[in-house]
């Protein structure tokens, strides 16, 4: 997991970072509310460990409330010495997903993080991808555009899924080789170009506005702008 630790106590933050690294996770750290808010809002994390009382103009609960207002649903474990029932209720009502009181057991903290991330991934698992009028049902393994079914070979399905998950982003040839064909090197093959050409014929041939674009000297893009 990639985790953010927002904790102004250097000893506690170092203890957490060391334990999480030994458990195979990577961490970023912020020791004040301003930096914590910036990292939480600008970087993708699997979960955040958030202290309540922070310097820097915004406390832990303020950060959580700000993130939730913008639709950020990252799992947040509040870590605080404030142990009263009202304190815990306020923390959870602010948008925190769990509340652990200091002093704490690292084993319990790790178990709670695992549970939060597991629940988050289960609840956000996508079963349908949509780009404009192009629909992909991941469970039924079906693709349609404008309500018309499109027959896909397994590799074409994987290629289209990757492009749909990165819609409106430039996807390079190397990215496709690594993520669709599992090549960690460029085998000097035109396999990507061939499959892109076939895919374009299937999803764009009978449609009014083409979705699959070639970005010169860069790669490809599945674009809702046509």
pLDDT digits (tens, 9 = 90+) for 7-27: 999 999 999 999 999 999 999
Q: Which residues contact 188 (CB under 8 A, 6 or more apart)?
A: none
Backbone angles phi, psi at 155, to 5 degrees: -70, -35
Q: What Rg value do the Cα atoms of the chain yield, rounded?
A: 22
Residue 54 has pLDDT above 90, yes or no: yes
pLDDT digits (tens, 9 = 90+) for 89-111: 999 999 999 999 999 999 999 99
132 versus 49: the higher-pLDDT residue is 49
Query: pLDDT-based confidence at 1, cuts 50/70/90?
Result: confident
What b/e sequence results for 49-75 when a residue is b if at least 16 CB atoms lie within 10 Å of its CB, and e otherwise?
bbbbebebebbbbbbbebbeeeebebb
- Which pLDDT score, from 0 to 100, does residue 123 have? 65
The fold of the 2-124 domain, in CATH, is Rossmann fold (3.40.50)
Residue 83 in tokens: 């142990």
Predicted confidence (pLDDT) at residue 156 exceeds the cutoff of 60 = yes
- Quick one: average pLDDT of 2-11? 96
The answer to whether the predicted template modeling score (pTM) of the entire model surpasses 0.75 is no
CB 101 within 8 A of CB 12: no
Question: Which pLDDT value is given to residue 62?
Answer: 96
Q: Quick one: average pLDDT of 157-169? A: 92
pLDDT(29) > 90 = yes
Domains in the chain: boundaries: 2-124, 128-222
pLDDT digit string, tens, across residues 134-145: 999 988 899 999
pLDDT band at 124 (very low <50, low <70, confident <90, very high): low
Give the pLDDT confidence of 195-205 residue by residue, as tens digits. Answer: 999 999 999 98
Residue 145 and residue 35: Cα distance in Å, rounded? 44
pLDDT above 90 as % of the chain: 73
Confidence band for 182, pLDDT divided at 50, 70 and 90:
confident
Same topology, domains 2-124 and 128-222? Answer is no
- Residue 226 predicted with pLDDT over 60: no
Pick the CATH number of 128-222 from 1.20.120.50, 3.40.630.10, 1.10.10.10, 1.10.40.30: 1.10.10.10
């Amino acid at each position: 997991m990639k985790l953010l630790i927002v904790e102004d106590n250097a000893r506690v933050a170092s203890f957490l970072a060391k334990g999480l690294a030994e458990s195979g996770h990577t961490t970023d750290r912020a020791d004040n509310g301003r930096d914590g808010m910036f990292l939480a809002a600008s970087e993708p994390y699997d979960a955040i460990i958030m202290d309540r009382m922070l310097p820097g103009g915004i406390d832990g609960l303020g950060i959580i409330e700000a993130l939730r207002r913008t639709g950020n649903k990252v799992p947040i474990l509040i870590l605080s010495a404030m142990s009263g029932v009202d304190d815990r209720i306020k923390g959870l009502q602010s948008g925190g997903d769990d509340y652990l009181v200091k002093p704490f057991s690292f084993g319990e903290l790790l178990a709670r993080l695992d549970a939060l991330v597991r629940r988050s991934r289960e609840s956000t698992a996508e079963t349908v991808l949509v780009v404009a009028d192009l629909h992909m049902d991941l469970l039924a393994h079906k693709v349609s555009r404008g309500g018309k079914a499109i027959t896909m070979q397994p590799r074409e399905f994987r290629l289209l899924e990757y492009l749909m998950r990165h819609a409106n982003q430039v996807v390079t040839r190397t990215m496709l080789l690594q993520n669709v064909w599992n090549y960690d090197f460029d085998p000097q093959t035109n396999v990507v170009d061939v499959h892109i050409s076939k895919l374009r014929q299937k999803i764009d041939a009978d449609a009014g506005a083409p979705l699959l674009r070639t970005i010169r000297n860069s790669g490809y893009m599945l674009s809702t702008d046509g």
